[in-house]
Structure 1
Amino acid sequence: MTSTFEQARAVADAVLYEGYLLYPYRASAAKNQARWQFGVLVPPSFAAPERGEHGETQTECVLDAPATATLHVRLRFLHVQQRLVQDPNRHVVSHLVVNGEDVPAWDETVEYERDVVVPLARLLSGDHVAAVVVDGAEDVEELRDADGRMRGRIVRVRQPLTGVLRISASPISGPYGGFRIRVLVANTTARAELDSSRECALRHSLVATHLLLGVTEGAFLSLVDPPEWARPVVEECENVRTWPVLLGASDRSDAMLSSPIILYDNPAIAPESPQPLFDGTEIDEILTLRTMALTEAEKRAARSTDPHARALLDGIDGLPAEWLERLHGTMRSVRSTVREPRVPWWDPAADESVSPDTDSVQVAGTRVAKGSRVRLKPGRRRTDAQDMFLHGRTATVQGVFVDVDDEQYLAVTLDEDPAAELQSEHGRFRYFFLDEIEPGEGGPCEHEC
């Protein structure tokens, strides 16, 4: 296990709870009737690709490491538990009011992790298969009023589920070596009865499934921007319903996150974000302000929905003003020292050997420089139909320039243009190559000196 691996928990938790609970954070909200869209692995009996339900995911990545390295794989997901509400006679009801607070029926979750540590040399002799077994359970919480009288119960029910974690490694041929790592995660839960509802299937599913990969020696390579020698192997990697990204260094790291949400390498939680909001498609500032604007009744309903919702509302209500200011915007590139602005390559000032005001060129044995009068004859290289109207017109050279291909050209203003002086002051010129002009009369020196 690496330090980078452990530091990634904040990002992994954001993936784990993305979409868990959506604004306005009430159980009754329409948005919260269709939860958990990321990383859901349903039982084989419910899997149906045509309706977007799948039971497995595959991660492939490239590892630059010796055969003596040890691979650490951590599977993380949410296990849905049903929160049933019962009245004093133990009849299931949609909600109860106890001590002035509404207690609704709701689906909560329990975090689950499965760690597998396996030497790379072991994988070269065959796949390593680890079982994922989550037992069913039932927990009871009594609901009593201020006088201690029984007003009902909360019964939390978790269905059993099983899965498999299959890890394999294959050596990469060539002078650089390395290995291609594959991790398959599958839901193998066998259900006696097939229920057509997704709500029921979710209680037998791995939700928000993702992997953390770590290595003791060597490093994982970026799949976004790999080194050239590894690019052909990276292009052959097949990632199914998951996206592996590096954690830590820019192009190689001893830890990787395989997420059901597309991320870039080195993801991180913005330091300005004071707490999880579960709705990553929203801007933190907007979502925080909208939550603060909820009525007291709406906030009570949200707090009674879920412990996570209660913590979120409590955190926003107690948010200091300076945190709101931080959410409004942050500049990350401020430096303590003032740097001289860099001259762009296309600016003549970038090259001291170039001086448009004093440089000159030879055209038909005549020296042409700033102030020279020339006659325009736009050539065939022109594609602008309006250039035909400039043929034969006289112009005054305003500067001699060189393009990126070291070809010289002239900046001119039309003599007949009443706005020529104004355009010259603003640096608005017409540009012509040397074979598109003829020397005219007037200027600094009409013949070769």
Structure 2
Amino acid sequence: MSVTAFAPETEARFALARQVADAVLFEGYVLYPYRASSAKNRLRWQFGVLVPPAWGAECEEHDFQHTECLMEPRADATLAVELRFLRARRRTVQRACADGDFETVGELRLGDRVLVPWDEGTEERVEAVVTVDELVDGDGVTIAFGRPAGEESEPVLDKSGRTVGRVIRRYEEISGALRLSARELDGPYRVLRLTAVVENTSTWTPADGQAGDRDAALPRSLVASHLLMGLSAGSFLSMTDTPEWAKGLIASCRNLHTWPVLAGETGRADVMLSSPIILEDHPALAPESPGALYDATEIDEILALRTAALTDEEKREARGTDERAAAVIDLADSMPPEVLERLHGAVRGLREVTGSASAEGFPDEYGIPRPDTPWWDPASESGYDPAHDRVVVDGRPVGAGTRVRLDPGLRHTDAQDLFLRGRTATVEAVLHDVDGAVHLAVTVEDDPGADLRREQGRFLYFQPDEVTPLEDDA
């Protein structure tokens, strides 16, 4: 085993995957309106937080992540692993006193910003390269790591260069372990199940009064932790687009508090990203994105416009909150119109619509031929009745009231489908779209909000090949 810098070819493959991994690392780091005083920014970091074991046992947060996936390594292959996480750095603000001493304050107002106490996140990495043979032999490989406690002081100067205060940044000691192992499985081809476990091994114990204090645990936690794994020769198997022969093996993989997907260049399968956020294979950032906004629950266009519309005082506080928050403010203020226009929308693909315009039609103002007949005739809907229509699935008629088992994911259109796979549901309606496709509107059984969804007409939708009628349904 070696804990060393990656080879150039490995670094190049990981560089592309890190574009998405960075978004995972800083997901929700600071939310609009990017001020520390905002209620949204007082409860920090919700994804991939591995807390000290003594604290997590009482507060139901996790102290480990467990990843399992399948790989087909070639002879003499090596596995490069990069553990990435944020380390919380607690910042306090002090004002300079007349006697040369400093006093801790709630804010320090400067001309261009307002400095306030805040937990900054610094990126940490643990890198290792191991041979696949090492992972198969014995108990695998364990890589222990740690970072010592520390304190940094930075003077705060005004425009004239006079010291008006200082910022104190304190680190708490953290420790952890990365455990890697592999096991060869029975099957028609040589395939190994790779297991990667990340643990917070801190021995810190909450003091009296800190049992429920999350702020006390965060500086000793591994925040937004995730893994990049790359094979020098060979490939990983997709967890969702799995070949038929490997589906049973994939089903035996156990993933806790994390989810592995293929990453990096599309069409390749030699890099895996294990993320605390559910992603699809080969996730990518939109090319129109102007930069990191850290608030991934918002639409970039709306977020940029709202950020640019903040008052000068709000922008001063945001700039003093964090360097990353300041960068968002500067980005919104300097974004040229052509960049903002690209955020308004993009066409990723086109498909032909049934009954589209014929060449004989008279062209419209855009030069597109008009159809001789309308592509959709409202009168044609009279022959459909969602409440009584039936569709044949596996030789059985399915309609409103039929109980079915959900088997989504055939088209891999929604990462959230994995939560519904195998659940039972009741069909509420059979719907036909203008292209002639059939959709089943369903409510999931045991959903406490099913009656409310039914009253409001808010259903989940699946195509017939994504459900199986239940045998016990009359």
TM-score, reference length from structure 1: 0.72
Q: Residue 316 and residue 177 in structure 1: after superposition, are their counterparts in 2 closer, same or farther (change >3 A)?
A: same
Pick the structure with greater CA Rg.
1
The answer to whether the 8 Å contact 1:220/1:252 transfers is no
Q: How far is the alpha carbon of 1:2 from its aligned partner? A: 5.9
Q: Residue 105 and residue 229 in structure 1: after superposition, are their counterparts in 2 closer, same or farther (change >3 A)?
A: same
- The amino acid of 1:112's aligned partner reads E
Q: Residue 31 and residue 246 in structure 1: after superposition, are their counterparts in 2 closer, same or farther (change >3 A)?
A: same
The answer to whether the 8 Å contact 1:140/1:155 transfers is yes
Q: Secondary structure at the match of 2:260?
A: strand
The answer to whether the 8 Å contact 1:209/1:260 transfers is yes
2:104 to 89, 92, 96: 92
Q: Residue 175 and residue 251 in structure 1: after superposition, are their counterparts in 2 closer, same or farther (change >3 A)?
A: farther
Q: Which residue of 1 aligns with 2:249?
A: 233
Aligned residues: 342
Question: 1:22 aligned to 2:34?
Answer: no
Q: Which residue of 1 aligns with 2:201?
A: 188
Q: Which residue of 2 aligns with 1:8?
A: 17
Question: 1:77 aligned to 2:85?
Answer: yes
After superposition, the C-alpha distances for 1:6-38 in whole angstroms (9 at most, x for unaligned) are: 211110000000010000000100000001000
Question: 1:199 aligned to 2:215?
Answer: yes
- The amino acid of 1:206's aligned partner reads L
Q: How far is the alpha carbon of 1:235 from its aligned partner? A: 0.3
Question: 1:32 aligned to 2:41?
Answer: yes
The answer to whether the 8 Å contact 2:150/2:170 transfers is yes
TM-score, reference length from structure 2: 0.69
The answer to whether the 8 Å contact 1:58/1:182 transfers is yes
- The amino acid of 2:190's aligned partner reads G
Q: Which residue of 2 aligns with 1:262?
A: 278
Return the alpha-carbon distance in structure 2 between the equivalents of residues 16 and 277 of structure 1. 13
The answer to whether the 8 Å contact 1:73/1:116 transfers is yes
After superposition, the C-alpha distances for 1:172-223 in whole angstroms (9 at most, x for unaligned) are: 1123011000000000111154333101100000000000010001101100
Structure-to-structure mapping, 1:152-163, within 5 angstroms: 152-163=165-176
Return the alpha-carbon distance in structure 1 between the equivalents of residues 36 and 134 of structure 2. 48
Q: Secondary structure at the match of 2:56?
A: coil
After superposition, the C-alpha distances for 1:228-277 in whole angstroms (9 at most, x for unaligned) are: 11111100000000010001466760001000000011100000111111
Q: How far is the alpha carbon of 1:153 from its aligned partner? A: 1.0
Return the alpha-carbon distance in structure 1 between the equivalents of residues 86 and 112 of structure 2. 31
User: How large is the Cα RMSD of the aligned pairs?
Assistant: 2.3
Return the alpha-carbon distance in structure 2 between the equivalents of residues 306 and 100 of structure 1. 13
Q: Which residue of 2 aligns with 1:146?
A: 159
Q: Residue 292 and residue 174 in structure 1: after superposition, are their counterparts in 2 closer, same or farther (change >3 A)?
A: same
Return the alpha-carbon distance in structure 1 between the equivalents of residues 53 and 287 of structure 2. 41
Q: Residue 267 and residue 153 in structure 1: after superposition, are their counterparts in 2 closer, same or farther (change >3 A)?
A: same
Q: How far is the alpha carbon of 1:342 from its aligned partner? A: 7.8
Return the alpha-carbon distance in structure 1 between the equivalents of residues 32 and 79 of structure 2. 39
Q: In structure 1, list runs of 5 or more residues that go unmatched.
A: 345-383, 386-404, 406-449
1:315 to 299, 309, 331: 331
Q: Which residue of 2 aligns with 1:415?
A: none
Structure-to-structure mapping, 1:390-405, within 5 angstroms: none
After superposition, the C-alpha distances for 1:96-132 in whole angstroms (9 at most, x for unaligned) are: 1234632111110110001011000111112100012
Q: How far is the alpha carbon of 1:340 from its aligned partner? A: 8.5
Return the alpha-carbon distance in structure 2 between the equivalents of residues 149 and 6 of structure 1. 42
Structure-to-structure mapping, 1:378-389, within 5 angstroms: none
Q: Residue 267 and residue 90 in structure 1: after superposition, are their counterparts in 2 closer, same or farther (change >3 A)?
A: same
Return the alpha-carbon distance in structure 2 between the equivalents of residues 108 and 272 of structure 1. 28
The answer to whether the 8 Å contact 1:129/1:167 transfers is yes
Q: Which residue of 1 aligns with 2:413?
A: none
- The amino acid of 2:135's aligned partner reads L
Return the alpha-carbon distance in structure 2 between the equivalents of residues 209 and 296 of structure 1. 35
2:342 to 303, 326, 348: 326
Q: Which residue of 2 aligns with 1:111?
A: 123
Return the alpha-carbon distance in structure 2 between the equivalents of residues 92 and 319 of structure 1. 37
Q: Residue 233 and residue 32 in structure 1: after superposition, are their counterparts in 2 closer, same or farther (change >3 A)?
A: same
Q: Secondary structure at the match of 1:109?
A: strand
Q: Which residue of 2 aligns with 1:360?
A: none
2:186 to 158, 170, 173: 173
Return the alpha-carbon distance in structure 1 between the equivalents of residues 352 and 284 of structure 2. 31
Instruction: Give the percent of matched residue pairs that are identical in Structure 1 and Structure 2.
Output: 48
The answer to whether the 8 Å contact 1:128/1:168 transfers is yes
The answer to whether the 8 Å contact 1:167/1:182 transfers is yes
Q: Secondary structure at the match of 1:229?
A: helix
- The amino acid of 2:17's aligned partner reads A
The answer to whether the 8 Å contact 1:2/1:255 transfers is no
Q: Secondary structure at the match of 2:186?
A: coil
Question: 1:301 aligned to 2:317?
Answer: yes
